[in-house]
Amino acid sequence: MMKLFIKYMVSQRCKLLVKSELKKLGLHYIMVDLGEVEIKEDITIDQRNHLKLALLDTGLELMEDKKAILVEKIKLIIIEMVHFEGEPMKINFSTYLGQQLNHDYTYLANLFSEVTGTTIEHYLISHKIERVKELLIYDDLSLTEISYRLNYSSVAHLSNQFKKITGLTPTFFRELKRRKGFTPDNV
């Protein structure tokens, strides 16, 4: 059994592409999820090179650098937490991240900043604000419900952070959805 790490967006299309490329090479996967692939057999150098080229052709990347893999895992945990988790976290995010990756949070934070040029906190905030935009446009949740769902300490905290990032209040942003052709990417 062997694990591979592939840089891709969290989507069904990307997962299907990865599965298809593995099948073409005669590799049997146990799991394809969130940038991580577990295959049943050991992979030869030739198979690895073929997979790497095939993935590049589809816009995906086989990752081999351990630091880059760890940074991608951090990003994937944040994306999963912000966009796919149903219940708010019961523990501090730094503790959660450290436990999930079995590393000290300070090490993870320093590595993330070194590799990406931004902090974990800024990366997390940007994803939370994007999720807030989606929820304001496509759901009928109140700001209180949104702030709870995304682990904000209060509606005021969410509103301040939202305005700092977008230049708009969440309420004004929600009103913009009535405009024809409006999408979260327009703002």
The CATH number corresponding to 2-64 among 3.30.70.1520, 3.30.70.100, 3.90.226.10, 3.40.50.300 equals 3.30.70.100
Hey, what amino acid is at 51?
L
Higher pLDDT, 58 or 78: 78
Q: Which tokens sit at 138?
A: 């496509």
What are the C-alpha distances in Å from 142 to residues 89, 95, 162, 171, 173?
19, 29, 15, 10, 13
Q: Which two tokens stand for residue 120?
A: 């974990």
For the chain, which residues make up each domain, given as ranges? Answer: 2-64, 69-186
Q: What is the pLDDT of residues 30-75, one digit of tens each?
A: 888 767 788 888 888 888 888 888 888 888 888 777 888 889 889 9
Query: Would you say the pTM of this structure is higher than 0.75?
Result: no
CATH 1.10.3720.10 corresponds to the domain 69-186: no
Residue 120 and residue 95: Cα distance in Å, rounded?
A: 13
